[in-house]
Amino acid sequence: MKIGFVGLGMLGLPMALVAASGGHQVRGYDSHPDRMNPGWYPDLERGRDGETLAALAARADFAFAPLDEVVAASEIIFLTVQTPSIGSYDGTGPFPAGGAEYNLRPVRQALAAIADAARRAPAMRRVLAVMSTVLPGTLRRLAHELPLPAELSLAHVPAFAAVGTYVRDILNPEFVLVGAFDAHAGERLETFFRTLTDAPVFVTGPENAELIKTSYNGYIGLKIGFANALMEVAHKTPGCDVDAVVDCLALATQRLISPRYLRGGLGDGGGCHPKENAALAALAQRLELSFDPFGSNMICRDRQSEWLAGLIEGECRANCLPLWLLGTAFKPNVSIETGSPALLLLAALHRRGLQPHIHDPLVPGRFNPPPAEPAIFVLGMPHELFNDFKAPPGSIIIDPWRRAVPTAGVRVVAVGRGPEPS
The answer to whether the beta carbons of residues 178 and 190 sit under 8 Å apart is yes
- Alpha helix ranges (H) inside 288-352: 293-319, 341-351
Q: Is 376 left (phi over 0), alpha (psi -120 to 50) or beta?
A: beta
DSSP 8-state symbol, 387: T
Strand pairing report for 201-204 and 176-180: parallel
CA–CA separation, 135 and 210 (whole Å): 6
d(CA 8, CA 31): 9
Strand 201-204 with 152-156, pairing: unpaired
Question: What pLDDT does residue 42 have?
Answer: 65
Q: How much is the pLDDT for 307?
A: 95
Residue 299: how many other CB atoms lie within 10 Å? 12
Residue 321 near residue 413, CB atoms below 8 Å = no
pTM of the prediction?
0.86
Q: What angle do CA 127, 133, 136 make, to 5 degrees?
A: 90
SS3 (DSSP) at 70: helix
Cα 265 to the center of its chain, rounded Å: 16
Distance, in Å, from the CA atom of 82 to the CA atom of 187, rounded to the nearest integer, reads 26
* Sign, Cα dihedral of 408, 412, 414, 419: positive
Domains with residue ranges and CATH for the chain:
2-215 (3.40.50.720), 309-414 (3.40.50.720)
Neighbouring C-alpha atoms within 13 Å toward the C-beta of 216? 16
Q: What is the pLDDT of residue 48?
A: 63
Using alpha carbons only, give the angle 311, 215, 272 rounded to the nearest 5 degrees.
65
DSSP 3-state assignment of 62? strand
The predicted structure's pLDDT at residue 229: 92
Which residues are bridge partners to 397 per DSSP?
377, 412
d(CA 394, CA 374): 5
Tens of pLDDT, residue by residue, the chain (422 residues): 999 999 998 889 989 988 998 899 999 999 999 899 877 776 666 766 777 777 777 778 999 999 999 999 999 999 999 888 888 777 878 888 778 889 999 999 999 999 999 999 999 999 999 999 999 999 999 999 998 999 999 999 999 988 778 888 898 999 999 999 999 999 999 999 999 999 999 999 999 999 999 999 889 988 989 998 999 999 899 898 989 999 999 999 999 888 888 888 898 898 888 888 888 898 899 999 999 999 998 999 999 999 999 999 999 999 999 999 999 999 999 999 999 999 999 999 999 999 999 999 999 999 999 999 999 999 999 999 898 889 999 999 999 999 998 899 999 999 998 888 87
Q: CB burial class (10 A; 0-12, 13-18, 19+) of residue 232?
A: middle
Which pLDDT score, from 0 to 100, does residue 52 have?
76
- What angle (nearest 5°) sits at the alpha carbon of residue 102, between those of residues 96 and 105? 135
Chain centre to alpha carbon of residue 349: 30
What lies within 8 Å, CB to CB, of 24 at 6+ separation is 1, 2, 3, 61, 192, 195
